[in-house]
Structure 1
Amino acid sequence: MGPDPATCSVTVGFTTRQGARHATRGQSYRNTVVSLRVEEAVGSCAVEDIADDEVHDCVGASVLDLLGHPNPAIRTAALDAYLAHARPHHLTATKSVTVGPGSSLAKSMARAQAVVDLLDPVPGDHVLVVGVVNSLLHHLRERGASYAACDLKGGTTEWGEPVTTDAESALDGCDLVLASGMTVGNGTFEPLLARAVAAGVPVVLFAQTAAAILPWFIGSGVRAVSAEPYPFFWLDGGPTTIHHHTERPSC
């Protein structure tokens, strides 16, 4: 599906640590993301934490070597970078969407609207949202859809609704699944997908983590992917791009 991974080297490795609280919002959140660069492409994986030396040690290593790395976040970021290089989003996506410039809240809302448009729920749909983003929940409410909010961190939504930590048990009674690419990094993606396939519930993904990996699951339980490779919308007040995939990349 691309060049020999033994000949593709990681030239840059870095970690992004971010905290955010949008104006007028009552909640804050933090993200830590590992990113590796292969040629022009950057692959990423969210983590709880990681030592800088572990990331820096990836520089100069081949993708093939890193696919055997003991840390799943490193493996994911390396594969993500390789696939983004082999099958660039701008050439394989069904549509690319520009998230216009603005405040962190404005960009969060614009990105969320594009993701919910891709999901395309109808009024009355009940959506399992895995990886709680309050802007996504806002747009689901605007579309007349209800939701079950799930996140490993638990807590409550911006509207005081409880957030469950068990996505698989929350799937019962849902018409759609909207899940974050972070499920790849924390090991919950495969069991969630298997459970959704068994239940006949379509899965749509919004992905900063594994943005170039997840389109390969389209047609195997995944209906569509909103891929957002680095740089992410929350890093820059200027325009950024997300890529909507509705077809599996060709080999």
Structure 2
Amino acid sequence: MTALDVPVCPSYDTLVAQVRAGALGPDPATQRIAVAFTTRQAVRHDGRGTGYRNEVLSLCLAEAVGSCAVEPGSLPDGALDDCVGADVARLLEHPLAPVRVAALDAYLMHVLPHTPEHGALAVPLPAGSSLVKSRARAKTVVGLLDLPAGATVLVVGVVNSLLEALRARGLRYVPCDLKGGTTEWGEPVLTDALGAAGRCDAFLVSGMTLGNGTFEPLRGHALAHGRQLVMFAQTGSAVLPRFLGHGVSAVCAEPYPFFWLDGGPGAVHCYPGGER
């Protein structure tokens, strides 16, 4: 299979329907999750005035791991028990969106892993501190934007290293996050990303939007208005490349284990878009 042969889908619901029908691989009713786990992180980098917390649900299917970030503390204790031993088809109908997204991601990581044959380009991350690796990832992500200096980027899911990399490129940005607050530089963080989209030239969006239901409106807006939409994805890293050419311009995919889990070298997997 070449990159041009890799399936893409016009919407999230269509993708889920194709997986349920076995159109992209084995019947999901025959694919069982062996291990379910959560990863919790708290961080405050040297030289930064603020810190943050992350929590991610991950599901193991054979050699693949699918993940979906959640708001820290929001995942019920019984969610892991629901997932272990369950088949993917059942989990695609789970009442919790993060479980559905993690199950879809695990299935697609299993059948369409991040390899050159599936359109992915591995980009190494250096060994070093979490901040060193975060900045290296940010430079790669921002490099997927094709914009002149002075353009304005809607950033959905505020990561200070990404804002720093945009500044270095001479790009302006509008930071958005459902948590609100302020950036490292005291800039207000908006909570209504779609409301701010009309004044931006391109969108740089976290995969977390899959889990909170805001991805499809943003993808639809980008498609309707001809805006670049670049995704940076720990959540749904194998899901988002399926929308290239259907509103998504490029993806920086980062499956588990994430860069912040150790100080050794790592990699992200870029899907730079273009003709499919």
Percent identity of paired positions between Structure 1 and Structure 2: 60
Runs of 4+ in 1 over 4 A off after TM superposition: none
Contact 1:128 1:149 in 2 (8 A): yes
Match in the other structure for 1:180? 206
Q: Is residue 207 from structure 1 mapped to residue 226 from structure 2 by the alignment?
A: no
Q: CA separation in 2, counterparts of 1:201 and 1:120?
A: 11
SS of 2:199's equivalent in the other structure is coil
SS of 1:156's equivalent in the other structure is coil
How far off its partner does 1:165 sit? 0.3
TM normalised by structure 1 equals 0.96
Q: CA separation in 2, counterparts of 1:243 and 1:93?
A: 9
Deviations along 1:45-82, one digit per CA (max 9) or x if unpaired, are: 01122123311331111111111111110010000000
Residue in structure 2 matching 1:41, options 54, 57, 64: 64
Residue in structure 1 matching 2:134, options 95, 108, 117: 108
Contact 2:207 2:235 in 1 (8 A): yes
Distance 1:236 1:121, change over 3 A: farther
Match in the other structure for 2:108? 83
Q: Is residue 26 from structure 1 mapped to residue 49 from structure 2 by the alignment?
A: yes
SS of 2:66's equivalent in the other structure is strand
Match in the other structure for 2:145? 119
How far off its partner does 1:192 sit? 1.4
Distance 1:100 1:93, change over 3 A: farther
The answer for unaligned runs of 5 or more in structure 2 is: 1-23
SS of 2:175's equivalent in the other structure is strand
Contact 2:144 2:272 in 1 (8 A): no
SS of 1:89's equivalent in the other structure is coil
**What is the alpha-carbon root mean square deviation over aligned residues?**
1.5
How far off its partner does 1:2 sit? 1.2
How far off its partner does 1:236 sit? 1.1
Contact 2:145 2:228 in 1 (8 A): no
SS of 1:132's equivalent in the other structure is coil
TM normalised by structure 2 equals 0.87
SS of 2:78's equivalent in the other structure is helix
Deviations along 1:149-178, one digit per CA (max 9) or x if unpaired, are: 000011111111111000011112211100
How far off its partner does 1:247 sit? 4.5
Match in the other structure for 2:217? 191
- After TM superposition, list the pairs within 5 Å mapping 1:218-233 onto structure 2: 218-233=244-259
Greater CA drift, 216-225 or 111-120: 111-120
Q: CA separation in 2, counterparts of 1:221 and 1:50?
A: 30
What amino acid does structure 2 have at the position aligned with 1:46? A
Residue in structure 2 matching 1:63, options 79, 88, 91: 88
What amino acid does structure 2 have at the position aligned with 1:111? R
Q: CA separation in 2, counterparts of 1:120 and 1:106?
A: 24
Contact 1:177 1:202 in 2 (8 A): yes
Contact 1:115 1:206 in 2 (8 A): yes
Contact 1:93 1:243 in 2 (8 A): no
Contact 1:39 1:85 in 2 (8 A): yes
Contact 2:67 2:236 in 1 (8 A): yes
Residue in structure 2 matching 1:160, options 181, 186, 198: 186
Aligned residue-pair number: 250
How far off its partner does 1:198 sit? 2.1
What amino acid does structure 2 have at the position aligned with 1:162? P
SS of 2:34's equivalent in the other structure is strand
Residue in structure 2 matching 1:53, options 78, 97, 110: 78
Deviations along 1:183-229, one digit per CA (max 9) or x if unpaired, are: 01011111111122222211010000011001111100110100000
Q: CA separation in 2, counterparts of 1:13 and 1:157?
A: 33
